[in-house]
Amino acid sequence: MSETTTNVLSTWARNVAPSPTLAVDAKAKALKAAGKDVCSFGTGEPDFDTPEFVKEAAAKALAEGQTKYTPTPGIPALRKAIAESYNAQGFAISAEQVVVSPGGKMSCYLAILATVSPGDEVIIPAPYWVSYPEMVKLAGGVPKFVTSTDADGFKITPEKLRAALTPRSKLLILNSPSNPTGAIYSEVELRALTAAALDAGLLILSDEIYEHLVYDGRCSFHPALFSTEAAERVITASGFAKTYSMTGWRLGTTVASPKIAAAIADLQSQTTSNVTTFAQYGALAVYQQPEAARAALAEMLGHFDRRRQKLLAALNAIQGMSCHRSQGAFYLFPNIAAFGLSSAEFCGRLLEEELVAAVPGSAFGSEGYLRLSYATADETIEKGAARLAEFCRRLRG
Ligand SMILES: *Cc1c(COP(=O)(O)O)cnc(C)c1O
């Protein structure tokens, strides 16, 4: 009996787009494995090892037999520590409002599944993180994009948000600091946007995975703190991957109203269950050893900031290229429109001709840009930027 491809794969599987950022990374890694000297700006992942004290705490938990199921939303000590950390910043939440999920990506997906019904519209500011539209579609929702450019500092306004509203609008996704642009909303801007969304009856998913990666004296803000209504209707997602270089640990968090948090935990209980048990003890060490955590973060931030400034200066020195001064995350999103190639063509040729990996802006819903991650060695940044400059020189002819 042979099955046709149409009935083997579901509509979900047929319609989901594979992650373009992971695809660029795979191609760069394959070239590297073949012995090529590739400079990769592709990966959205810190190049540091996880801090020693975190690894030690997880290793100790493993040695002590912490290898069985835990409660689905996380070990009580970790949920309590996370709640206390948010409360120290002005939240007023209980540990029951915290759900620990296998990665910040899963935290976002579960938040979407918990709030979006088929046909509901989800407003996604573009440029956006590649996974948001796919997650919304997997929930049966309809992504609605609101676009910003480098001239807007890659930020949308309440007016633009209101123009995108329909009776089916359900959720707004915010991501400040942003992947892919590194843009950060100021408190005034974020308050206005939050108020506009709540006035329209929307829920907000605030993906704050880069909340601690900020430069130039900037800070990021929690929309959930802006009003009592916001505390009810904002889901705050974050995680350990980017802040503590723990991408492979798969540790994400959501904070939400008791009702939404319970729904997220229920969805998780029927899909992934708890995060790997000893990994949760590693995360707990971040709260139990705050001095060590602060030191580890400060050290990484110092390196990121130096690299950011180096890459920013190099990009803005290229004739025809301009780059917005991003103050968060670890990405730059230069404008390449002047070169007259689509971003996919630009990146394809850049990798082929100069062995430099970057992700096309089109992957993030914005043609005419590239995403470069500076979470990479200084040497790669210097060499890669020089090759990029040479490539652009050739394009200018
Ligand atoms: C990296 C990232 C996440 C989550 O990453 P995990 O590895 O799943 O914890 C979430 N949102 C954005 C925008 C990211 O860049």
Question: What would the pLDDT profile of 83-95 be if each residue is shown by its tens digit?
Answer: 999 999 999 999 9
Flag whether 164 is in a domain: yes
User: 339 CB contacts (<8 Å, ≥6 apart)?
Assistant: 320, 321, 346, 392, 395, 396
Q: Which of 244, 261, 289 is the last residue of a domain?
A: 289
Flag whether 126 is in a domain: yes
* Residue 198 and residue 84 in one domain: yes
Give the single-character DSSP code of 273: -
3-state class (DSSP) for residue 387: helix
For 314, the domain range is 3-49+293-392
Cis peptide bond prior to 360, omega within 30° of 0 = no
3-state class (DSSP) for residue 18: coil
Kindly state if the Cβ of 242 falls inside 6 Å of ligand 1: yes
For the chain, the distance separating the N- and C-terminal CA atoms, rounded to the nearest angstrom, is: 58
Decide if pLDDT at 362 tops 50: yes
* pLDDT for 3: 53
* Residue 156 and residue 169 in one domain: yes
Kindly state if the Cβ of 176 falls inside 6 Å of ligand 1: no
Flag whether 397 is in a domain: no
* Residue 76 and residue 177 in one domain: yes
* Residue 100 and residue 37 in one domain: no
* Residue 19 and residue 63 in one domain: no
Flag whether 310 is in a domain: yes
pTM of the model: 0.96
Q: What is the dihedral of CA 70, 71, 74, 79, to 10 degrees?
A: -130
312 CA to middle of ligand 1, Å? 23
Q: Which of 289, 304, 335 is the last residue of a domain?
A: 289
* pLDDT for 315: 98
Dihedrals phi, psi of 383, to nearest 5 degrees: -65, -45
The predicted-structure confidence for 307-341, as pLDDT tens digits, reads as follows 999 999 999 999 999 999 999 999 999 999 999 99
Decide the pairing of beta strands 98-101 and 252-255: antiparallel
Q: Which of 231, 266, 289 is the last residue of a domain?
A: 289
Percentage, residues of the chain above pLDDT 70: 98
Looking from the CA of 135 toward its CB, the CA atoms found within 13 Å total: 24
Give the single-character DSSP code of 38: -
Dihedrals phi, psi of 360, to nearest 5 degrees: -65, 140
315 CA to middle of ligand 1, Å? 25
Which of the four pLDDT bands, split at 50, 70 and 90, describes residue 186?
A: very high
9-13, 56-60, 232-236: least confident range: 9-13
Summarize the confidence of residues 347-365 as an average pLDDT. 95
* Residue 89 and residue 215 in one domain: yes
Q: What is the dihedral of CA 53, 378, 373, 237, to 10 degrees?
A: 20
The predicted-structure confidence for 253-310, as pLDDT tens digits, reads as follows 999 999 999 999 999 999 999 999 999 999 999 999 999 999 999 999 999 999 999 9
Kindly state if the Cβ of 239 falls inside 6 Å of ligand 1: yes
Kindly state if the Cβ of 252 falls inside 6 Å of ligand 1: yes
* Residue 21 and residue 167 in one domain: no
Summarize the confidence of residues 214-233 as an average pLDDT. 97
Summarize the confidence of residues 52-58 as an average pLDDT. 98
Within 10 angstroms of residue 45's Cβ, the number of other Cβ atoms is: 17
Q: Mean of the per-residue pLDDT values for the chain?
A: 96
Flag whether 198 is in a domain: yes
* Residue 281 and residue 164 in one domain: yes
Flag whether 41 is in a domain: yes
Atom number, ligand 1, closest to the C-alpha of residue 108: 10
Looking from the CA of 136 toward its CB, the CA atoms found within 13 Å total: 23
Rounded CA separation 323/238 (Å): 27
Atom number, ligand 1, closest to the C-alpha of residue 129: 13
* Residue 271 and residue 383 in one domain: no
Rounded CA separation 240/244 (Å): 6
CB 211 within 8 A of CB 177: yes
Kindly state if the Cβ of 129 falls inside 6 Å of ligand 1: yes
> Which CATH number covers residue 65?
3.40.640.10
* Residue 124 and residue 16 in one domain: no
Residue type at 113 in one-letter notation? L
* Residue 215 and residue 359 in one domain: no
- Of 105, 154, 254, the one to substitute when testing ligand 1's pocket (max ligand atoms within 8 A of C-beta) is 105
Summarize the confidence of residues 75-81 as an average pLDDT. 98
The predicted-structure confidence for 237-257, as pLDDT tens digits, reads as follows 999 999 999 999 999 999 999
* pLDDT for 4: 57
Neighbour-count burial for 239-256, b at 16+ CB within 10 Å, e otherwise: bbbbbbbbbebbbbbbbb
19 CA to middle of ligand 1, Å? 12
Smallest CA-to-CA distance from 25 within 130, 150, 174, 168 is with: 130
CB 305 within 8 A of CB 333: no
CB 241 within 8 A of CB 249: yes
Dihedrals phi, psi of 67, to nearest 5 degrees: -130, 15
Dihedrals phi, psi of 334, to nearest 5 degrees: -70, 150
Rounded CA separation 228/276 (Å): 34
Number of domains, the chain: 2
Summarize the confidence of residues 136-158 as an average pLDDT. 97
Flag whether 82 is in a domain: yes
Atom number, ligand 1, closest to the C-alpha of residue 247: 7
* pLDDT for 339: 97
Which of the four pLDDT bands, split at 50, 70 and 90, describes residue 1?
A: very low
Smallest CA-to-CA distance from 199 within 146, 167, 162 is with: 162
Residue 173 vs residue 25, higher pLDDT: 173
> Which CATH number covers residue 40?
3.90.1150.10
241 CA to middle of ligand 1, Å? 7
* Residue 240 and residue 327 in one domain: no
* pLDDT for 6: 59
147: left (phi over 0), alpha (psi -120 to 50) or beta: beta
